[in-house]
Amino acid sequence: MVITRAGGAFLDIPGNTQSVKLTANLFAGTSGPALNAGGFPSGSIVSTSNLTSVAANLSGADNIASPSFWPNATLQAQTLLSNVPDAGYTKDAPQPFTTRTVGAGQRRIGALQSAP
């Protein structure tokens, strides 16, 4: 998730939510956005293998005409996972909604798994 304007929050989780688990997500923002703006306590979020960075590491993210969310070399080096944080996760559902088996190759934090 990328926020290219100053401030804000990545998520808005209502206070009546029972539980939240975030695994292998990339959060990149400008001027320190909050993780959660909703009533759910941020300290109760179960977080595994997530990475927080700055939006400047995704130099094309703020290009409205032709956005690019591919991370620069510095951020790519930080996204490599040393393990599979959720071994039970075996399917990926990209748009349009189809499923495909997640391969055993190198895994990265965030949605991008290979260069464009």
pLDDT tens digit string along 17-69? 999 999 999 999 999 999 999 999 999 999 999 999 999 999 889 888 988 88
Provide the domain count of the chain: 1
Is residue 16 one of the residues assigned to a domain?
yes
Percent of the chain scoring above 90 in pLDDT: 50
DSSP one-letter string for the chain: -EEEEES-EEE---TT----EEES-EEEEES--EEE-SSS-GGG-EEES-EEEEGGGSTTTT-SSS------HHHHHHHB-SS-S-TT--EE-PTTT--EEPPSS--BSSS--S--
Q: Is residue 66 part of a domain?
A: yes
Residue 30 covered by a domain: yes
Task: Give the pTM.
Answer: 0.78
Tell me which residue range forms the domain holding 61: 2-101
Task: Examine residue 40 and state whether it is found in any structural domain, yes or no.
Answer: yes
Q: What is the mean pLDDT of residues 81-103?
A: 71
The answer to whether position 109 is within a domain reads no
